[in-house]
Structure 1
């Protein structure tokens, strides 16, 4: 009984009640006709049993033959749960549409997993895949795995192995990176000297190989030999080695920054044009009531925002992209001295971030000179920086 109930959610059964007649002959004839009957239970007024739905009509004829009144007491199974819905065409249509949408969406790639990379970024790998047609939202037939693998190997030198595996709507890009170190500017087996690449005062030395040619605290000039790769061995012979070491010096550097009072700037106007697209993966459908294309982008600036389309809080594969074309106008703006100083300070900060980030700034003395057409700021830097570049030794035999 427990086994039948466990299967009743999907298998179909009918529980029948039989009253009067010749019940023993009825059951015997059912067995003779290969009609399966289960869980026969005899009661005071009749019997209860379980049969399959497709056997009911034949069972009813045999029951009538033996004078038994047959009644259906209970119907169990998935098919009987669907029968009340057979006239609700909306549910049937919705189920068919749902299946059609699932089949349609399964023809696209919705997720790309990058596995095995550490030095090479996901962005680099995805950029190569996108060039070959592999991106979220693309068709499963729009790219070739072998082409994607070979392109990634050719364009990204750090990769030693690439495998693109397609699993339904998910694509896994498995990579392995090379363990070879980046080649040095001068091979380690090549004899070389270390010379200064800046003027300054030597404040720290750490010699790994070679012979120091000056002392800490001495002044040095650009191009001066600091670590020599020509040394004497214990036997009195001259040998050539690959000189190397860590050198630090205090250097002085002067930079000038100038900005005029009157500057021509491109200013955004209130004239704007919009272009709206409905995105489905890599496909873009322009909306005709809000679509603009600039034939010449001169005089315009373009910006765009992309939004996910969600229904009842759940994200859908659709996206909404809106681009804005804003016309620019050239205007001559006259700035005050305070505004110019603010801009000069920003120029100085940007310069330090871009060119002096590897140095330690000990001091920066500023000299401000106001001229007729602008302001000039001269900055004298005192820096602590690493110095020294390697220069191969040419040996003549």
Structure 2
């Protein structure tokens, strides 16, 4: 019976019977249906057993008849626990207050998260939620069910296609699915497509309008490539010209590439500092007297304390300062030349547009002086050359 929850609730004791009538007592207890368990005899003939509290008081007449007496070895069960607590009222009151405070705190909403929004401002969503009673430190039992809250929020946010409310413990997550609206297109007036620079035409595709040039034609800046005027002088119609015109354009670049380059490398030496963060202030708590490096880079890691997914205004910060050295590298004129050309190509393609390709390059002048390679390069680039111009 030891370990039985019924016995624990009623309470039980371990007793030792002293006297020569232990066997008579056991037989009499069995006749009276007194439950004894884990009966054992010591070498001295003393009987030890477990008995519930109600049966313990029923044992007294039997003890007198058998000529034995008892000694309680240990007490167990809920009644004895409660008796101990009653003698320690302060502890019992503190435990009760803790349980009560934990229950009260668990009925509050500590954190409200908003997910899925991009076009709708988060502040607008939180204002709508507050109007429905969803905000931090709100009593959870005062809120309606999640389905009802979702419907009410959807009515307050007409820009949203769907709004979901998910309550888990002391946290609420509001998920917003925004409705997709077609982009408003500006009204387009009649226009030509003209050349934005001097070029030689390599390809022309007219989606709308009338082409004015052909492949291999040389054009100057401002020449009409695709006209927005259809028909003749007596019967004409103005339209919005659309299309793609590619042409060869020449760009002259002056490049200066140094013969000495420097790279920053980590030495492996580092030092770490720890801070205690309170609000917007940081108090250093370790890493004092660390050697200062001539050159270094610092990596910062911040960890804020949390309480039920709510970020608190204090935490810790660690700074890892790593020593950096600059290692110089001497380039040959050929290597410096290639580095300068590569940089010029990248800059040129970024300026010319995504469809641009370099067809040829010609070095007009090359000179090495004052630790630099000086280049003058003519690039031949195929790129888009059309630009819009309204029809006046």
Deviation at 1:361, TM superposition (A): 2.1
Q: CA separation in 1, counterparts of 2:277 and 2:331?
A: 48
Deviation string for 1:308-351 (max 9, x for gaps)?
Answer: 8xxxxxxxx9766225397999xx99875356335424523542
Q: CA separation in 1, counterparts of 2:361 and 2:113?
A: 50
Q: 1:248 aligns with which of 246, 249, 256?
A: 246
Unaligned runs of 5+ in 1: 24-42, 87-91, 127-139, 142-159, 309-316
Aligned 8 A contact 1:274 1:291 in 2 = no
CA RMSD of aligned residues (A): 6.1
Q: 1:304 aligns with which of 289, 292, 299?
A: 299
Query: SS of the residue aligned with 2:197?
Result: coil
Aligned 8 A contact 1:274 1:290 in 2 = no
Deviation string for 1:174-222 (max 9, x for gaps)?
Answer: 45557456666xx343222111113222222222222112223322222
Matched, 1:287 2:288: no
Residues 356 and 230 of structure 1, relative CA distance in 2, 3 Å threshold? closer
Aligned 8 A contact 2:117 2:177 in 1 = yes
Residues 13 and 227 of structure 1, relative CA distance in 2, 3 Å threshold? farther
Q: CA separation in 1, counterparts of 2:339 and 2:53?
A: 95
Aligned 8 A contact 1:115 1:172 in 2 = no
Aligned 8 A contact 1:19 1:47 in 2 = no
Query: SS of the residue aligned with 1:348?
Result: helix
Aligned 8 A contact 1:19 1:46 in 2 = no
Deviation string for 1:269-313 (max 9, x for gaps)?
Answer: 99x996723467987442354279x9xxxx9764325498xxxxx
User: Hey, what does 1:36 align to over in structure 2?
Assistant: none
Residues 378 and 112 of structure 1, relative CA distance in 2, 3 Å threshold? farther
Q: CA separation in 1, counterparts of 2:361 and 2:333?
A: 21
Residues 167 and 290 of structure 1, relative CA distance in 2, 3 Å threshold? farther
After TM superposition, the structure 1 = structure 2 runs for residues 133-172 of structure 1, keeping only pairs within 5 Å, are 172=173
Residues 362 and 169 of structure 1, relative CA distance in 2, 3 Å threshold? farther
Q: 1:364 aligns with which of 358, 361, 364?
A: 361
Q: CA separation in 2, counterparts of 1:207 and 1:173?
A: 50
Taking structure 2 as the reference length, the TM-score comes to 0.50
Q: 1:376 aligns with which of 367, 371, 374?
A: 374
Query: SS of the residue aligned with 2:343?
Result: helix
Q: 2:340 aligns with which of 344, 350, 353?
A: 344
User: Hey, what does 2:116 align to over in structure 1?
Assistant: 115
Query: SS of the residue aligned with 1:222?
Result: coil
Q: CA separation in 2, counterparts of 1:196 and 1:239?
A: 22
Deviation at 1:225, TM superposition (A): 0.9
Matched, 1:391 2:386: no
Q: CA separation in 2, counterparts of 1:110 and 1:338?
A: 63
Taking structure 1 as the reference length, the TM-score comes to 0.50
Q: 1:355 aligns with which of 351, 354, 357?
A: 351
After TM superposition, the structure 1 = structure 2 runs for residues 197-216 of structure 1, keeping only pairs within 5 Å, are 197-216=196-215
Unaligned runs of 5+ in 2: 15-24, 38-50, 86-90, 123-135, 138-158, 304-313
Deviation string for 1:217-274 (max 9, x for gaps)?
Answer: 32222211111222239xx7322222111222232222221135689x899999x996
Deviation at 1:393, TM superposition (A): 2.2
After TM superposition, the structure 1 = structure 2 runs for residues 258-269 of structure 1, keeping only pairs within 5 Å, are 258-259=256-257
Q: CA separation in 2, counterparts of 1:71 and 1:300?
A: 81
User: Hey, what does 1:30 align to over in structure 2?
Assistant: none
User: Hey, what does 1:218 align to over in structure 2?
Assistant: 217
Q: CA separation in 1, counterparts of 2:265 and 2:386?
A: 48
Aligned 8 A contact 1:196 1:224 in 2 = yes
User: Hey, what does 2:129 align to over in structure 1?
Assistant: none
Larger-Rg structure: 2
